[in-house]
Structure 1
Amino acid sequence: MGKIFTVILSALALLLSACFQEKENDAKDTSIELSERDLNEIKEEGVVRVVTNYNSTNYFVYKGTPMGYQLELLQEFSNYMGLKLDVTINNDLSTNYRNLKKGAIDIIASNLAATLEKNDGIRFSEPHSFSRQILVQQRYQPDNGNTGNREYNKLIRNQLNLAGETIYVQKESAYAKRLRNLAQEIGDSINIVEIADYEVEQLIGLVASGEIKYTVCDENLARVNLNYYPNLDVETAISFPQKLSWAVRSTSPDLLNVIDNWLISFKKTARYNQIYQKYYLNKRSVHLVDEGFHSIKGGQVSDFDEMIKEESNKFNWDWRLIASLIYQESRFFPKVESWAGAQGLMQLMPGTADRFGVVNPENPRQNIRGGVEFLKWLDERLESRVTDPEERIKFVLASYNVGLGHVLDAMNLAEKYGKDPLVWENNVDYYLLHKSEPKFFNDPVVKFGYCRGEEPYHYVTEILERYEHYKNVME
């Protein structure tokens, strides 16, 4: 009843103050000064900042791996551009549009219906896909008792029958606009309730449970959700096929041009087809959300989340960072052993395990405790050199992978060649990466000799990137 009460209150508030809200939002929009950030500024920073929505198709974490249709498209685009991808999640379209205009983000990567009327500082890209808008309604009440007795509802098949009905949609979405146009077309009123705090899939869930009667979403997403809610009906279209696009600022024409050209080419590739089929057509993929290790439903990264939290808290480390490291080391398999003899979740070498009292490296608790203590030991030895905690964690991670001595060598090389020995990216990491070259491993300032630096170089980057994804979706 709590959800129903909340939705009803929201509906009443929004219906009674619709005109006021519209005027207020218009005033807010006109007061926002459009950022001039475009492709040159993005390239200069080396980072493209993107927001997407958190749901079971666009962006989520499954068994420790960040996944999603939009995420994979974004990864392909950022790799093509040679840019670092900074992904955040926000399901509130109003906030996303404001942040886009202000320059806090560069792209809204979602299933946005491209319209000609969005001329308030927003431009839509070449479509990444196409879909009709579908009325989502309940065929029958969910049979939680498995009695087999079902009472089927009368379904709307003719759009004229939407007259006088109340339909809940995401605020500022193309669905609300389409319903307003449809009301004009049928010559009757449709009560449209725009909900700011609910993402499309949450509204679909409310229809499935019977807490609201109708919502609208894209057909491809609607059919994915039939796998989770078989009591739904998604056969009534309320639009022709529409272009689904990304959004950028109108003051970023160069960025838009690059995105458009890339999408035109990329959609012709087998890789694009693979991504689309994986999230919208593959029956195995759509059932991932039913499993415990899905960030949306199960809320777990692994079987060992509680252990990781408990051991990390002893040293005030963020458990999500440790989880990302464990994924990198062992993919959460506690009995794995490397060719070099490293064992367990955190791949402890025998000498390290002995030093930190790990009697049985295959014991998850012991292994995690030993690994975290080793990280703390490394942190203490680097603390007097690299005083910035956020910067120091990169040095600690690299040391965990390749050894503290090689990292100290790379710091000495950075200082010798005029780089900052206390900054990782584009400074110390460069010399660790190239420490396999005779020019560097034979240098007098190097004490620990040859190092194949490619692995620790990517190790730090991948752990921190995954950590950012974990922070997006995990408390």
Structure 2
Amino acid sequence: MVVKWCGAALLVTFLLGLQGCTPQPTPNQLQIVKERQVLRVGTLMNPTSFYYDHEVEQGFEYELAQRFARRMGVEVRMVPRFDVADLFALLQRGEVDIVAAGLDETANRRELFRFGPPYDEISHKLIFKQGSRQRPRDWAQVDDGEIVVVQGSSHEEFLRALEDEFPDLKWRSTSDHDAVELMRMVDREEIDYTIADSNQLEVQRRAHPGLSVAFTTQRELQVAWALKSTSDDSLYAAVIEYFGEVRDSGRLAYLKEKHFGHVKQFNYVTTSLFIDAVEQQLPKYIDLFKQHSGELDWRLLAAISYQESLWNPRAVSPTGVRGMMMLTLPTAKAMGVKSRLNAEQSIRGGARYFERMLQRIPARIPEPDRTWFALAAYNIGFGHLEDARVLTERQGGNPDRWLDVKQRLPLLRQKQFYRQTKFGFARGDEPVTYVGNIRRFYDTLKWLDEQGRL
């Protein structure tokens, strides 16, 4: 009996020894990320991808990556760089898991890296300073200056491919400046031309309206996340599944609207006049906006006032609204305003009225949509806004999402829709334009403030 037990014990020991010698399977990329509990994301530090706002991480790519990380149950760690080449080097060395920086796929990049599903489409534009030269219509006419692009960018790759066809084209690449800096250098006429992504150009034009498009150099370029090229499909598959989810759920469209929806419409005259007014008119009233803003951002209050009256305290509309904040007589009385043409009273009354609109928006609606809804209510009235939200829900949209409601607001002009509402006809397209304008003015004021120009 003892002999049998000893034999069995030796057999178990032998088998355990064999098991210890058997190599354990290597964890795949997805497992490594989950075990690490951190998704490392390489990105560019710029206004369209990733930046800090009062030490808080912000940006379109940041929000996309953060949601992907949460889906996997891990934290996100953004690894910002100022150079595209640095990002791809990090990815090649395995120091980041993905690169999310609004980068377009190119033939060279596809040979070296793996790209996820496209989530945006951009174009490239040749940029010059308006009024500095005759606008060139094609490459043959770009003969009066030098083009400067970022080293390692797809713009450099594109220009290199043009050299045989246009050997006299003057251009160079630089690692000393990023794409945003190059656009600002064009605006200051420190360089002649640069090439810019359409998204970045739209954002920069809010503060630099003199940036003008000569012509589109490339169209319909797909933007996607980049991953290391490997036979391991685990993380790649997770990225594909994630983008399918955010596209189907409407979350991707929501993030695009949040970050870029208000910058698509650019008007050179409007933007130039606004920046002139910031320099000429705003200094007279800036202390009043700060004094009476309360819990509001004074720059938002100033943006509302500019949209309403162009910062003219004696502004009067044909419908009878007056003053800096264009208050109706009943609203002015309710807010304790005795003279609508008194700048301080108007600003104080408008601030309190906007706060009241914010308080009436359902608490479940998060920022920034909460603010956009309150702005629409300030413009068109809370009742009409509620009509549009009800209509949105009837049509299968989300009544708590500005992206969905702003598509239905213009329907309040049409009898087939407003006859179903409580408050009837309304010029529903106006609050859509109103909110978009204020968002642009507000963004410009924030940027100017951060630059120390207010």
Structure number with higher relative contact order (C-alpha < 8 Å, ≥ 6 residues apart): 1
Greater Rg by CA: 2
- TM-score, normalised to structure 2, is 0.50
